[in-house]
Structure 1
Amino acid sequence: MLQILKRNPLAAVIALLMHLAILLFMVVGVDWLEKPVQPPSTVQVVQARVIDETKVREQVQRLQQDEARQAEAKRAAREQEEQRLAELKRQQAQERQHLAELEKQRQAEDRKREVAKKQRLEEEQRKKTAEQKRLQAEKEHKAAELKRQAEAQARKEAEAKRVAEQKKRQEAEAKRVAEQKKRQEAEAKKAAEEQRRQAEAEKQRKAEEARLKAEAEKKRQAEAAQKARETELLAAMEAEHNARERDRYILQISQKVVRAWLRPAGFSEGLKCTLRVRLAPGGSVLAVSVIRGSGNGAFDRSAEAAVLKADPLPVPTGTLFEQFRDINFEFDPNK
């Protein structure tokens, strides 16, 4: 009762005034059965209305009931609010637990990706070492083959020279014998024979010079062809190395961006998009844009935000960096 009076002081005051008015009429002792004689007067009499105590009590009772209903409604509303807050706390606790489980799963997936990456890099290094050994062995084999061919050619030339010299000695010996036999007959022909011999020698000298020149040209062409093949092979090796390095850095960039990515609300598995990123030396991000979207605007914006958050990105140095000033790569957090 006191609580009702405290919450509604105006109603309490009104009820108190009504009770005091009733008591006042009772104390004055007005005789309600006898009609009073009104003395003649020019003063206007004010007609007073008798207050019914029963109605006053009913009014007070209705006020008390209204206050009780309001108090009950407030209590029910407070209990409902407390239940809603308790349910909200329970949902928040479940959400925190769910996020913790998702973080554990993400960390486990990151560890798996790191192990796979390390194994892949080791396999690439092993293949690279084996390829270098194969190329070195092939180079050594070609060098040995060229040396063998050169030695065979030298032996062939030496044998030809020996045969020519032997033939020349035989011809000279035969000529000497013939000249001795026919010295008297050949005396007249000596000048002509000498001239013929000199012409033959000059002819052989020129033929030998032409042969040596042709062999030198052939050797030069072979060396040039060999050098061109080696240059082409080195260029192919360098191009393959650059391609592997580019793929490696693109993979590192994609992995760093995925690690910096924050999963948007309502994310659906399987979404991916293609990003265009402009980089400065050192990997600073100058600009990022979506050139092929996933169909989900929130996902595309989260991918752009992940690139900016991952700044600076891993990039090579030297001339290979020119291939990373403006790159396109696929952002796929499901890999």
Structure 2
Amino acid sequence: MLQILKRNPLAAVIAVLLHLVILLFLVVGVDWLEKPKQPSSSVEVVQARIIDETKVREQVKRLEQDEARQAEEKRVAREKEEQRLAELKRRQVEEQQRLAELEQQRQVENRKREEARQQRLEEEARRQQAEQQRKEAEQKQQAAEAKRQAEQQARKEAEAKLVAEEKKRQEAEAKKAAEEKQRQAEEAKRKAEEAKRKAEAEKKRKAEEARLKAEAEKKRKAEEARQQAEAAQKAREAELLAAMEAEHNAREMDRYIIQISQKVIRTWLRPAGISDGLKCTLRVRLAPGGSVLAVSVIRSSGNGAFDRSAEAAVLKADPLPVPTGTLFERFRDINFEFDPNKK
């Protein structure tokens, strides 16, 4: 709306002025069709008091009709104004839509132009890259050609050098053959002396080896005897320690079994009608710390109520006293005799 007013300021001013004029006519209510009346004299008024009652009613009726007509004209004018405003609003909406579509088309065209520009830039970059690659390939080809020519020249020089070296080699081989013949004679003499020296050294080595072997055998037997004595001593000590540990563990197990039995007996509730002398064997699975995981009767007393009361006493005595460390492994699953007669 503001963009339309900025583009057409004169049309906006004219529209505002027309609205003000129409509003003034509606408020004032001027009747342009009514003719001005000539005022009558005072004498005529006195004479018309009786005879003009009908005219008065007609005048009143005519005024009412005028008022009704003016009201209708105002209503029609108001409806026309409303229609005009509605039409103006519709046009404004259409203009806004048209402007939005134009803006959208402009954005699409700008985007297309940007994409085309980007494609041109990419094509230019690819062309430049291809040109750069072509130049690099030409440079590599020129370098390869220069290298090939240099290698060819070097090969010619190397061949000439090989010819000269071959001549020198043949001369050197002839000299070397003479020297080799002299060397072989000296080598034969040296080998004979070396063989004699090696034979004497081998004789001494075997004698020394035999002596060292005898001493090593003697030391080995002494070491074996010492190790056997140490092994026997360690075995005796291990047996003694195992016996002591087994005895200690047995005493500990008996002590904890007695503590478990006593704690279970203390929590036991004698069922009604149970006679003395009953006992049963229980199997108890324990967790570290003495928590009872499960309890069952593995040898019944013959009385179901007594057996159930024994199981209940074990569960009630949770946790049971158990050792710590490696000795606890023997208490994960234990069997003990439940005999409430023992105190």
TM-score range normalised by the length of the shorter chain: 0.3 to 0.5
- TM-score with structure 1 setting the length: 0.38
- TM-score with structure 2 setting the length: 0.37
Greater radius of gyration (CA): 2
Greater share of residues in helix: 2
